[in-house]
DNA sequence: CTTTGATATTGATATAGATCAAAAATCAAT
DNA sequence: ATTGATTTTTGATCTATATCAATATCAAAG
């Protein structure tokens, strides 16, 4: 494991977990939105003037693991970007049961569709690692949307992309059974978050259950089965995918 | 039941089922988009010029019950509006199992988020009654989005609203149990589609199951229970809600 | 080190809900 | 009306998965 000290954040972080931050940090690009086009592809649509506007209306905050960045139901006045770190995006359901929708990494916009409808966040977001987040007032974003059609189109694309994933997740959760759902979650981590077949397991078994809609005990049991069949090697805090093909089949066959 | 003959469509339709069509028909408003602002609120954002553009690039088609209007996976080149009739919006899942997302009535935009991402429809739509539909080429819509910020904002709102509902449905399907899910579906028909506590059941028990993610036999059994408890009165083709309060409680308590 | 609180694991049991199979009802078409 | 084809209903089983309870593990704090 390679660690690096980040003086501004007052902490040490694992390099493999925080690629983006390292990248930005080493390139000294955290100072302003102008340099943050890499944050969200869509920001590259903006003119200098518009970037300035946004830059004047944003502020940063940092969060420790488990701290809540967005609270479901609260008024949504800001669009939020992670600058660094990992967070879980989840809905608070009935009788305290959560449903983890996905993980958020840097360069994704966090706001939720509620922003454009009832000005309430429709999901919560909580930090999994140390997180640096950037808050941009939504009135400003709306202003830019109104004046920059390209940006608006990018926004539509972003919303659509998320909706599409949600549709897919809906099918997965309702039609696959446990093995398939868990296999898919593991592949999600490997492919979409860590881009490696060996990764740190940032979620507890309980949370893994909230993500795949199953009881934590079932998570444990199925992980055990996967291990017996030499499909993965797992500890409570790490996973290594040994037989990606098999895992794919399980994920697809449900 | 009041029926009315629609010469152009070559059919007779039930008045209570086709409010919008009757309204438009009697007001002679089907001829062009200009008159169709009522179709989709967002169209009222358009200038005369833009309306003309859309009007020149649209065509209508009619569908008989059970005919497919949109096929999941096929290239999405059109935005579609129902002019009249009712349709079911559903995803085709694994091993032929469908998931009905919602019903579509006139004045809703049908296209799906796939349009803005991979140009594929991410769901199918099939007519439940006789349906008149209006197809608008998506390139044209995109052009208008690019030139009219208000329209773009309306589009974003529409997408967001749908995403929000999807989030809600996700929670419902994963966290409520059968009774709650079925109660909710019945209230959906009463409140969102028919706006009456007595309505024609346009879905078969099988389809009702596809909508609430349960087996058709379970649908039958639970409808039976609801009848025994005098919460609803149901026949295979009709439902009357007798005790809305109880149904609400069941829907919320899961 | 020990203690402690959280999390993970394991085994036993309970249950919601699916599946299967057969009968009954409904509907469409002669 | 009569037939044949769907759809609905019912009852009997089966199974995936949750729940419960007990134990083991681990990391942090004293």
Per-residue model confidence as pLDDT tens digits over B222-243: 999 999 999 999 999 999 999 9
Residue A76 within a domain = yes
Last residue within a domain, chosen from B108, B142, B173: B173
Considering B173, B193, B221, which residue would you say is the last residue of a domain?
Answer: B173
- What is the 3 state secondary structure string of chain A? CCEEEECCCCEEEEHHHCHHHHHHHHCCCCCCHHHHHHCCHHHHHCCHHHHHHHHHCEEEEEECCCCEEECCCCECCEEEEEEECCEEEEEECHHHCEEEEEEECCCCEECCHHHHCCCECCCEEEECCCEEEEEEEHHHHHHHHHHCHHHHHHHHHHHHHHHHHHHHHHHHHHHCCHHHHHHHHHHHHHHHHCCCCEEECCCCHHHHHHHHCCCHHHHHHHHHHHHHCCCEEEECCEEEECCHHHHHHHHHHC
**What percentage of residues in chain A have a pLDDT greater than 90?**
72
For B118, nearest residue in chain A (alpha carbons): A161
| Residue in B146, B170, B254 closest to A170 by CB | B170
Residue B44 has pLDDT above 80, yes or no: yes
Neighbours of B160 (CB within 10 A): 21
The residue among B84 and B2 whose pLDDT is bigger is B84
Query: Using the beta-carbon criterion (under 8 Å), do A160 and B116 form an inter-chain contact?
Result: yes
Provide the domain count of chain B.
Answer: 2
Report pLDDT digits (tens) over A185-199: 999 999 999 999 999
- Distance, Å, B46 CA → C11 C1': 66
Q: Are residues B166 and B180 in the same domain?
A: no
Q: Do residues B107 and B139 share a domain?
A: yes
Question: Angle at which helices A178-188 and A216-228 pack, to 10 degrees?
Answer: 80
A204 touches strand C (CB under 7 A): yes
- Kindly indicate the confidence band of residue A41, based on its pLDDT and cuts at 50, 70 and 90: confident
Does residue A1 belong to any structural domain of this protein?
A: no
A214 in the same domain as A105: no
- What's the gap in Å between the CA of A150 and the closest CA on chain B? 7
C-alpha to C-alpha distance for A185 and B116, rounded to whole angstroms: 26
What is the pLDDT at residue A37? 52
pLDDT tens digits for A71-110? Answer: 999 999 999 999 889 999 999 998 889 999 999 999 889 9
Question: Quick check: B41 pLDDT over 90?
Answer: no
Kindly list the residues from chain A whose CB atom is less than 8 angstroms away from the CB atom of residue B114. 160, 164
CATH number of domain containing B123:
2.60.120.10
Indicate the residue among A165, A188, A221 that finishes a domain. A165
> Per the domain annotation, does A4 fall within a domain?
no
Does residue B62 sit in the same domain as residue B144?
yes
Specify the range with the lowest mean pLDDT, choosing from A37-46, A67-76, A104-113: A37-46
Query: Is A249 a domain residue?
Result: yes
Residues B190 and B141 in one domain: no
B62 in Cβ contact with B132 (< 8 Å): yes
Both B218 and B133 in one domain: the answer is no
Percentage, residues of chain B above pLDDT 90: 71
* Across B38-66, average pLDDT: 87
CA distance B140 to chain A (A): 14
In a domain, A204, yes or no: yes
Query: What average pLDDT does chain B have?
Result: 87
Q: Do B103 and B196 have their domain in common? A: no
Residue A30's pLDDT is what? Answer: 45
Q: CA of A136, closest CA in chain B: separation in Å?
A: 18
List C-alpha distances in Å: A77 to A71, A121, A188, B193. 12, 9, 30, 32
Residues B60 and B162 in one domain: yes
**B151/B32 same-domain check:** yes
pLDDT tens digits, residue range B156-205? 999 999 999 999 999 999 999 999 999 999 999 999 999 999 999 999 99
Strand D atom within 7 Å of B175 CB? no
Instruction: Note whether B119 and B192 are same-domain residues.
Output: no
Q: What is the pLDDT of residue A44?
A: 86
pTM across the whole model: 0.87
When pLDDT is averaged across residues B93-99 and rounded to a whole number, the result is 93
Residue B238: CB less than 7 A from any atom in strand C = no
pLDDT digits (tens, 9 = 90+) for B115-149: 999 999 999 999 999 999 999 999 999 999 999 99
For residue B82, give its domain range.
Answer: 3-173
A180 and A150, same domain (yes or no): no
Query: Does residue B165 sit in the same domain as residue B40?
Result: yes
**Digit-coded pLDDT (tens) for B207-218:** 999 999 999 999
The per-residue pLDDT of chain A, averaged, comes to: 87
Nearest residue to nucleotide D16, by CA–C1' distance, is A177
CATH number at residue B189: 1.10.10.10
């Amino acid at each position: 494991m390679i660690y690096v000290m980040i003086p501004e954040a007052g902490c040490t972080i694992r390099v493999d977990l925080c690629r983006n931050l390292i990248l930005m940090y080493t390139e000294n690009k955290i100072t302003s939105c102008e340099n943050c086009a890499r944050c969200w592809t869509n920001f590259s649509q903006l003119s200098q003037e518009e970037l300035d506007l946004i830059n004047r209306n944003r502020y940063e905050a940092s969060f420790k693991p488990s701290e809540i960045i967005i609270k479901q139901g609260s008024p949504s006045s800001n669009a939020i970007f992670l600058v660094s770190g990992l967070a879980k995006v989840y809905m608070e359901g009935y009788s305290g049961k959560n449903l983890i929708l996905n993980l958020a990494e840097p360069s994704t916009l966090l706001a939720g569709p509620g922003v454009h409808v009832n000005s309430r966040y429709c999901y919560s977001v909580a930090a999994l690692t140390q997180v640096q987040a950037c808050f941009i007032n939504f009135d400003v974003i709306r202003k830019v949307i109104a004046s920059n059609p390209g940006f608006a189109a990018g926004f539509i694309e972003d919303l659509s992309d998320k909706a599409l994933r949600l549709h897919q997740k809906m099918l997965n959760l309702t039609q696959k059974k446990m093995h398939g759902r868990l296999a898919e979650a593991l592949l999600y981590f490997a492919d979409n978050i860590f881009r490696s077949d060996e990764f740190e397991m940032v979620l507890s078994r309980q949370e893994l259950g909230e993500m795949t809609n199953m009881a934590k005990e079932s998570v444990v049991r199925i992980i055990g089965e996967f291990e017996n069949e030499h499909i993965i090697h797992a500890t409570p805090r790490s996973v290594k995918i040994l037989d990606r093909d098999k895992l794919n089949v399980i994920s697809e066959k449900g």
